[in-house]
Amino acid sequence: MSTLLAVEALESGYGDVQVLWGLDLTVEAGSITCIVGSNGAGKTTFLRTLSGLVKTKSGSVRFAGADVTGVEPDAALAAGIVHVPEGRRLFKGLTVQDNLLLGAYTRHDDGIMSDLEFVYATFPILKERRKQDATTLSGGEQQMCAIGRGIMSRPKLLLIDELSLGLAPKAVDRLSAALVDINAGGITILLVEQDVMTAFDLAATAFVVDMGRVVKFGATADLADDPAIREAYMGL
């Protein structure tokens, strides 16, 4: 495997509030990798820093062979870093299909319609509901739409913040299965997830973040047996 994303000593935050304090992490091309950690650990801030929404203070980010440290959101997107935000953030007043097509708004290639068909094949319910206001979808369907919109941006790396938040187990299972298919289609996935069981089921490798740093990483199969991880993050 080759490394798609290599983050070294990353520091970032909001004004005077520093959140990331030297975060190191790598993501292998083709993998599903997850980040877990307590509330406020800096997981969302990390994804927002990668996608250019939070200002980088120091450190480096290499992506697909290029230096993307501190780039603006449009440059991160152009490089192939696509962010599915916490809370899904669909546009009210726009249909499901228009929300999906918004993911492709910077594209000028002729693959947009075939990518839309791929999204509809992955999430058939979105095709059925394509003319409905996206914000009237169920929670699980909204997450499908948010992920679909991400796919419409042709990601090399799909960042997903809180896949399972607020969803029933059945919806989470459906989304997890879809992510496996999406990954098999060649998209590397970096997942931030509160539910460590869900994250470890999906991902081969996990990074545990605490107070803006990676405090542990390894194969999810090993971390799932680690007593400290089980106690702190799995409630076991």
Ligand X SMILES: Nc1ncnc2c1ncn2[C@@H]1O[C@H](COP(=O)(O)OP(=O)(O)OP(=O)(O)O)[C@@H](O)[C@H]1O
* Residues 7-36 contacting ligand X, CB under 6 A: 14, 17, 19
Q: How far is the CB of 38 from ligand X (least distance, A)?
A: 7
Cβ proximity to ligand X: between 23 and 41 the closer is 41
DSSP one-letter code for 134:
G
Cβ proximity to ligand X: between 14 and 105 the closer is 14
Q: How far is the CB of 8 from ligand X (least distance, A)?
A: 19
Cβ proximity to ligand X: between 40 and 169 the closer is 40
**Sole binder of ligand X in the list 45, 142, 164, 205 (CB under 6 A):** 45
| Element of type H or E holding 230 | helix 227-233
Cβ proximity to ligand X: between 119 and 208 the closer is 208
Cβ proximity to Mg ion: between 29 and 165 the closer is 165
What end-to-end distance do the CA atoms of the chain give, in Å? 33
Q: How far is the CB of 152 from Mg ion (least distance, A)?
A: 23
Q: How far is the CB of 194 from ligand X (least distance, A)?
A: 6
Span near Mg ion by CB under 5 A; candidates 43-51, 146-154, 175-183, 200-208? 43-51
The Cα 201–Cα 32 span in angstroms is 10
**Applying CB under 5 A, what is the total number of residues that bind Mg ion?**
2
Burial class (CB in 10 A: 0-12, 13-18, 19+), 24: middle
**Number of alpha carbons in the 13 Å side-chain half-sphere of residue 67:** 4
Q: How far is the CB of 165 from Mg ion (least distance, A)?
A: 9
Cβ pair 47, 83 in contact under 8 A? yes
* Residues 166-205 contacting ligand X, CB under 6 A: 194
Paired with 216 in beta bridges are: 208
Neighbours of 233 (CB within 10 A): 21
Q: How far is the CB of 161 from Mg ion (least distance, A)?
A: 6
**Residues near 111 by beta carbon (within 8 Å), at least 6 away in sequence:** 154
Burial class (CB in 10 A: 0-12, 13-18, 19+), 148: buried
- Does residue number 37 form part of the binding site for ligand X (CB under 6 A)? yes
Which residues contact Mg ion by CB under 5 A? 43-44
Which residues contact ligand X by CB under 6 A? 14, 17, 19, 37, 39-45, 194
